[in-house]
Amino acid sequence: MLSAITLILVFQVAGEIISRATGIPVPGPVLGMVLMLFAFFFKDNLVDRIRPTAGVLLTNLSLLFVPAGVGLMRHGERFLNEGLGIAAVIILSTVIGMIVTAYTIIGVEKLMHIREDEEC
């Protein structure tokens, strides 16, 4: 388990180094996950080594939301003053995201049907 956690952290640190060195606007942990994905393709037993530890991390994922809850408590006055605006932006951006996703799916389905018709 310790070696798997070490591997996960090594990929995260590598992603962070790449992110900061290149200045690309992608978080280091995301780059680390991409690097780990590529490593899974090239090293066969890597998935089996990391899977048990990843399962434990995922079952305790709710603990990672504790800092967000602390932030809400610490900035409670701000949420009292600006909470309505924050809630409106969250709801609006969620609705926009859902609409864009729906139209993207519709567009891809149309493209897929057009290509299927062309092949026939």
Query: pTM, whole model, 2 decimals?
Result: 0.54
Instruction: Give 105's contacts (C-beta < 8 A, 6+ positions apart).
Output: none
Say what the pLDDT of residue 120 is.
60
Q: Which whole-number Å values give the CA distances from 43 to 30, 50, 51, 103, in the listed order?
A: 20, 12, 14, 38
Residue 71 structure tokens? 């932030």
The answer to whether residues 19 and 28 touch, using CB atoms and an 8 Å cutoff, is yes
Say what the pLDDT of residue 60 is.
85
What is the biggest distance separating any 2 CA atoms in the chain, rounded to whole angstroms? 63
Reading the chain (120 residues) residue by residue, the pLDDT tens digits are: 888 999 999 999 999 999 999 988 888 899 999 999 999 999 888 888 999 998 888 888 877 777 777 777 888 888 889 989 989 999 999 999 999 999 999 999 988 887 666 666
Q: How far apart are CA 33 and CA 115, in angstroms?
A: 33
